[in-house]
Every structure is written in C-alpha cells, then in structure tokens.
Structure 1
Amino acid sequence: MDTNENMKNVKDMMSFTTKNIIYIFIGISLLIYIYKILKKNKKDAEVKRNNEISIKMKLSREKQLQELDKEMMINKEKMKEQNIKKNEEKKKDADQAKPKLGSKDNSSFNHLNDYSNYYRPSLKNRYNNRKS
C-alpha cells in the first residue's frame, strides 16, 4: 500500500507541477499580451498628441505670417505716404526757386555777403610782401 500511495503522490506531484507550468506559461503570456497592448496604446496616444501639437503649431505660424503681412502692408503704405510727402516738398522747393511772374530778381543783391575769405594770397606771395 505504501508503494501505491507513493505512486499516487508522485502522480499528484507530476500533475501538480504540469498544472503549475501551464498556469505559469498562461500567466506570462497574458502579462506579455497586456504589456504589448499598453505599449501600443501609449504610442497611439503619443502620435495623437504630436499631431495635435503640429496642427496647433501650423495654426500659430499662419497667424504670425498673417500679422507680418498686415505689418508689411502698413509699412508699405507709410513708405508711400512718406515718398509722396517728399515729392511734394521737392516740388515746393523747386517752385520757390523759380522766380514768380512780376517779382523783382534779387539774386544780384549781394552786398551783405562776406567776401573776407574770398581771396587769400599764397604763402609765397605773403612772404615776398613782408621782405620788401
């Protein structure tokens, strides 16, 4: 009887260990499967987040470009206005330089001008004048 009991115990031990091995294998495979699913979900979430960020970046770049375009248009208009003003001033100056009809020509009236530095004799001439 002891041998029969020992044989049953050995069979029970063998079946018990095979059951454990099967359960361990199933458990490990389930853990690997769950890990892969979680990893895939994490990658999908990251891709989705990156897409949202890229869309937001594109929108912000477009807004900045539109603002820059508006500023450029405003600056162009200002430059045009400044050029028009400069041209008008040049025309006014040119009109003032031309003598008007019926006005006296005062261009020869120069007795108030200072001609003290108009003629300066050369050093050689000044030296010769001192000697004599």
Structure 2
Amino acid sequence: MKKILIAFFLLAGITTYAQEDVKVEGNTVTIKESSPVWPGCDNKADKDGCFNKMLMQHVKTNFKYPKNDKGEYIRGKVTIKMEVNEEGRVVVNSVDGKYPQLNAEAKRMMEAAPKMTPGKRGGKATAIKYTIPLTF
C-alpha cells in the first residue's frame, strides 16, 4: 500500500509540474526556444529570415546620418547590444562606436522599432538578446 501511494504521488507530481515545450528523455532536458517575430512575419515559413530582412529595412528607412561641426555626414561602425523584452519592445543596452552622434542616432533608430511578438523559452515569453554590428 505504501509503495502504491509513493508511486501515485510521484506520478501526480510529474504530471502536475510538466511544462509546455519541455522534453525530458533520461538525463537530457530539451527546452524549445523561439525567436521574436517582427510584425508582418507571423505567417512566413522562415520567421528568422523575415526578422533579419525587416530589421535591415527598418535600419535603411529610419537611420538619419548625423553631421559633424563642419556639416559633413558622420560615417563609421557601431555595435548595438539590445534585447527584445518579454513585452516585445526593443531595449538598447549599449552602443559602441567611435562617434557619440552616430551612437545616439543608432540607439534612437533601434528604439523606434515596432512592438514584436516576444521570443519564448519553454512556452513562456522571455527576453532575447542580440548583438548587431552596423557600418554607416
């Protein structure tokens, strides 16, 4: 009787705390992770490819080249570290580049990205981090 109760509670505990998109086989635990989805990419087969395409289109249409004191356009490289948070908003963590004006414009441009469907890990919304190098 004691063994039956222990088996019952063990089985009930396993099924009660099971998570969506989590697979356990022996000593291996696999958690399914999905990337954020850019608006308009919901019905595409290659959502990651669509995300990259739409991100580059966003950069092309929203980036405004800043000018220096002489009135010349500033060009250079920047590295943007950002994340798409649990609500689907872009949060820029840091922008590294040689020119402060270029860094500020890159940050403004990335924060102007539209709200997305957030990435998921184990069926729950989670922040997904990106590092994007850009040359302007």
Bigger strand share: 2
Bigger helix share: 1
Same fold (TM over 0.5): no
TM category, shorter: under 0.3
Q: Max radius of gyration: which structure?
A: 1
Q: TM-score, normalised by structure 2?
A: 0.23
